[in-house]
Structure 1
Amino acid sequence: VWLQNMGVLMISGFGFRFLLLITLTAGTCFLMWLGEQITDFGIGNGISIIIFGGIIARIPSQLVQTAKLLQVGEIGILPVITLIVVSAVVIGGVIAIQKGQRRIPVQYAKRVIGRRMYGGQGTHIPLRVNQAGVIPIIFASAILLFPATIAQFFQNLAFMKSMSEALSPGQPLYLILYATLIVVFTFFYTAITFNPANMADNMKKYGGFIPGIRPGKNTTVYIDHIMTRITLSGALFLAVIAILPNILIKITGITTFYFGG
Structure 2
Amino acid sequence: MKKLFTTLSNIWKIQELKERILFTLLILVIYRFVCQVVLPGVDANLLGQNQKSGLLGLLDMFAGGAFSKVSIVALGVMPYISASIVVQLLGIAVPSFQKMQKEGESGRKKLNQITRYLTVAITIVQSVGYVKTQVPEEAILINHTLFYILSTFVLTAGTLFVMWLGEKITDKGIGNGTSLIIMVGIIARLPIALQQEVTSRAAGQGGGLIALVVEIVALFAVVMFTILIVQGVRKVPVQYAKKIVGNKQFGGVRQYIPLKVNAAGVMPIIFAQALMFIPAGLTGFFPSLQNSWLSAYSDYTSVTYSVTFAVLIIAFTFFYTAITVNPTQMSDDMKKNGGFIPGVKPGQATSSFIDDVISKITFPGAIFLAIIAILPSVAVKFGIASEFAHFYGGTSLLILVGVVLDTLQQVESYLLMRHYDGLMKTGRVTGRTGIPAAGSNAAL
- Tell me which interval the TM-score lies in, with the shorter structure as reference length: 0.7 to 0.9
User: Closer, same or farther in 2 for the Cα pair 1:111/1:124, shift >3 Å?
Assistant: same
Question: What is the CA-CA distance between 1:256 and the residue it aligns to?
Answer: 5.0
Alpha-carbon distance in 1 for matches of 2:131, 2:294: 15
CA contact (8 A) 1:39 1:46 kept: yes
Alpha-carbon distance in 2 for matches of 1:34, 1:43: 13
Q: Which residue of 2 aligns with 1:118?
A: 250
User: Greater CA deviation, 226-235 or 195-204?
Assistant: 226-235
CA contact (8 A) 2:301 2:380 kept: no
Alpha-carbon distance in 1 for matches of 2:238, 2:150: 57
User: Closer, same or farther in 2 for the Cα pair 1:192/1:163, shift >3 Å?
Assistant: same
Question: Which runs of 5 or more structure 1 residues have no equivalent in the other structure?
Answer: none
Matched, 1:141 2:273: yes
Alpha-carbon distance in 1 for matches of 2:133, 2:294: 13
Counterpart code for 2:316:
F
Percentage of identical aligned residues = 45
Q: Secondary structure at the match of 1:105?
A: strand
Q: Compare relative contact order (CA 8 Å, sep 6+) and give the higher one, 1 or 2.
A: 1
Deviations 1:127-180 (A, max 9, x none): 12222221222222222113311321111x2x3543552111212222122212
Q: Which residue of 1 aligns with 2:177?
A: 46
CA contact (8 A) 1:170 1:246 kept: yes
CA contact (8 A) 1:79 1:253 kept: no
Alpha-carbon distance in 2 for matches of 1:107, 1:15: 67
Question: What is the CA-CA distance between 1:253 and the residue it aligns to?
Answer: 4.5
Of 360, 378, 386, the match for 1:247: 378
Q: Which residue of 1 aligns with 2:414?
A: none
CA contact (8 A) 2:201 2:211 kept: no
Task: Quote the RMSD (CA, aligned, Å).
Answer: 2.5
What does 1:1-150 align with in structure 2 at a 5 Å threshold?
Answer: 8-10=136-138, 11=140, 13-41=144-172, 43-77=174-208, 78-113=210-245, 116-150=248-282
User: Closer, same or farther in 2 for the Cα pair 1:94/1:40, shift >3 Å?
Assistant: farther
Of 136, 153, 167, the match for 2:297: 167
User: Closer, same or farther in 2 for the Cα pair 1:48/1:185, shift >3 Å?
Assistant: farther
Question: What is the CA-CA distance between 1:3 and the residue it aligns to?
Answer: 6.8
Deviations 1:171-228 (A, max 9, x none): 2222122212222222222222211111100111111000111111111111111112
TM-score (norm 1): 0.87
Question: What is the CA-CA distance between 1:60 and the residue it aligns to?
Answer: 1.1
CA contact (8 A) 1:87 1:259 kept: no
CA contact (8 A) 1:2 1:149 kept: no
Question: Which runs of 5 or more structure 2 residues have no equivalent in the other structure?
Answer: 1-128, 397-444
Alpha-carbon distance in 2 for matches of 1:112, 1:68: 71
Q: Which residue of 2 aligns with 1:226?
A: 357
Q: Secondary structure at the match of 2:157?
A: helix
Alpha-carbon distance in 2 for matches of 1:226, 1:252: 40
